[in-house]
Amino acid sequence: MNQLVLSDEILQGISDLANQLNLSIDSLLEQIVKGNLAVVNAEELEDLLDVRDAMIAEAAPENQERVSWETVKNDPKLSSV
């Protein structure tokens, strides 16, 4: 088994995360190793959720009508945006 040295700051972060999930540090790390939990960058997750939301909106029946740029440009309600 390899030994891993962690700074106090990193260990505190892991401990805080384990507490938030109501797990021990050992259980938290075990769940990550088993693939039951994943560590994800929050900004990347937000970007993926934005893409998902855009795809859902694009697929919605009420969003299937295409509007020309000329229509948008000439509509005062839309062109002021």
Residues 12 and 35 in one domain: yes
Which secondary-structure segment (H or E) carries 54?
helix 42-59
Kindly state whether residues 33 and 48 are assigned to the same domain: no
Residue 2 lies in a domain: no
Q: Is the domain of 47 the same as that of 74?
A: yes
Q: Which residues contact 17 (CB under 8 A, 6 or more apart)?
A: 28
pLDDT tens sequence for the chain (81 residues): 788 888 999 999 999 999 999 999 999 999 999 999 988 899 999 999 999 999 999 899 888 888 888 988 888 887 665
CB 28: neighbour CB atoms within 10 A? 19
Q: Are residues 34 and 55 in the same domain?
A: no
Tokens coding 41: 């960058």
Domain that holds residue 71: 42-79
Q: For residue 46, give both structure tokens.
A: 């937000």
